[in-house]
Amino acid sequence: MAITLNINGRDYSIDADPQMPLLWAIREKAGLMGTKFGCGIAQCGACTVIVDGNAVRSCNTPVATAVGKSVRTIEGVSENNDHPVQVAWQDLTVPQCGYCQSGQIMSAVALLERTPEPSDNEIDKAMAGNICRCGTYPRIRAAIHKAAEMSKT
Amino acid sequence: MTAYHRPTDLDAALRLLADTGATVAAGCTDLFPATDRRALPGPVLDITAIPALRGIVATPEGLRLGATTTWTDVIRADLPPAFDMLKEAAREVGSVQIQTAGTLAGNLCNASPAADGVPCLLALDAGVELASTTGTRRLPLSAFLTGPRQTARRPDELLAAIHIPAAATAGRSRFLKLGARKYLVISIAMVAARIATDAGRVTQAAIAVGACSATARRLPDLERALTGAPATALAAHVTEDRIAPALSPIDDIRADAAYRTHAAAELVRRALTDLSPQEAAA
């Protein structure tokens, strides 16, 4: 079935089953490989993208439900990797293996858009749905505070 | 490819449901993990494109919560303090990404004994509106949930809305959940409590416990003991014999039955302490 998806401000015409998980439409149909397949059962958060301003797990979102909405992936966070979250991530060398990090960054971006200066508790709550097997959580929290600080000036 | 229907009006959805017996999909947060395939087993009826099914509106009889209202919608809605427990539960459903997608009706129709929303909706005296091509009917939530993963919904019926009567929107409320860790956890026990007072006396006590019986249960003995009592030191009314008869906890990997009963009593005590007036003033 022909579907038009708006990803990072650009329209993609793709052929996909309407019930195909958005994750596969993004990766295999639109060819954007930054969004990762982690567990496939909505447990880990590696596949997190932002749909109409809210973080969702693309592995359990039927692509049909994203039609007519604005989908943002890691590729659309900034033009030159200079979004405050990306800069803070680089400054504090947040990733270790890196696999979960595009999902982590999308959850952090969604959080800061609604809550520009989150407390530790708000960060923990918002980021709980993104698992990191390397245990980079303390650096993630620090980087979100740093990104919030940078965004103020 | 299996059929995937995504109608934009309720009548079309009800006709499709009657004709195809499709699996109803909303947030898909339970449906996708429940299949081992890369696609949903079809046919599927996706009800999230029907505007009339989403949102919270006041009605002459109280409040109507549309079926596809998400947990994030609940968290962001302007609701009276009687709904604080539902908002607290909404923040405990999975993670933020799950709260964005997961719906109230999905939580009810999936009918997990550990569904976070159910104790709160029971303590709000919720009723469900079931729609089909042959008309609509209403059931109290307690009658809709018939067992673990079992409901009174016929295959041709759609849970269209949840109704909260105006009388149950009074008072203050609290939701507490015990799990093995803080986040992303299936409950060992959870409690929703709503207390309304007038002139220093309790006028309404609505207390429900989840994950300690086949379906979440209200605690009628405790509610009777509280009603009419002075609105102070509410937790002093909590005894195991006012709680245990309403529950039938199981032993499973998360906890054994005796621990669940003990935990439920302690959670009720804590919720009522939080709702006692001296706490509010503190």
CB contact under 8 A, B33 and A41: yes
Asked casually if ipTM beats, i.e. exceeds, 0.90, the reply is: no
CB contact under 8 A, B101 and A57: yes
- Residues in A closer than 8 angstroms to B42, CB to CB, are 19
Placement of tokens 């986040």 in the chain:
B183
Together in a domain, A101 and A70: no
A-facing residues of B in 154-183 (CB < 8 A) are 182-183
Q: How far apart are CA B187 and CA B264, in angstroms?
A: 11
Q: Tens digit of pLDDT for each residue in A15-68?
A: 999 999 999 999 999 999 999 999 988 889 999 999 999 999 999 999 999 999
Q: How far apart are CA A11 and CA A106, in angstroms?
A: 20
| Domains of chain B, first to last | 49-167 (3.30.465.10), 171-281 (3.30.390.50)
User: How many domains is chain A built from?
Assistant: 2
Q: Tens digit of pLDDT for each residue in A65-93?
A: 999 999 999 999 999 999 999 999 999 99
- CATH code, domain carrying A129: 1.10.150.120
pLDDT score at B280:
45
pTM listed for this prediction:
0.91
Q: Tens digit of pLDDT for each residue in B203-215?
A: 999 999 999 988 9
Residue B140 confidence (pLDDT) above 60: yes
- The arithmetic mean of pLDDT across residues B134-158, rounded, is 96
Residue A122 confidence (pLDDT) above 90: yes
pLDDT score at B38:
67
A123 inside domain: yes
By three-state DSSP, how is residue A29 classified?
A: helix
B-facing residues of A in 3-62 (CB < 8 A) are 17-21, 24, 41-43, 45, 48, 51, 54-57, 59-62
Orientation of helix A137-152 relative to helix A84-91, angle to 10°: 130
Measure in Å the smallest separation between the Cα of B40 and chain A Cα atoms.
Answer: 7
- CATH code, domain carrying A45: 3.10.20.30
A91 inside domain: yes
Maximum mean pLDDT: which of B120-134, B174-188, B249-263: B120-134
- Residues in B closer than 8 angstroms to A43, CB to CB, are 33, 184
Q: How far apart are CA B253 and CA B264, in angstroms?
A: 17
- Residues in B closer than 8 angstroms to A20, CB to CB, are 38-39
pLDDT score at B1:
59
Domain extent for A21: 2-74
Interface-testing mutation among A24, A27, A58, A60, with chain B (most B C-beta atoms within 10 A):
A60
B91: contact with A, CB 8 A cutoff: yes
Q: How far apart are CA A97 and CA A135, in angstroms?
A: 10
CB contact under 8 A, B98 and A59: no
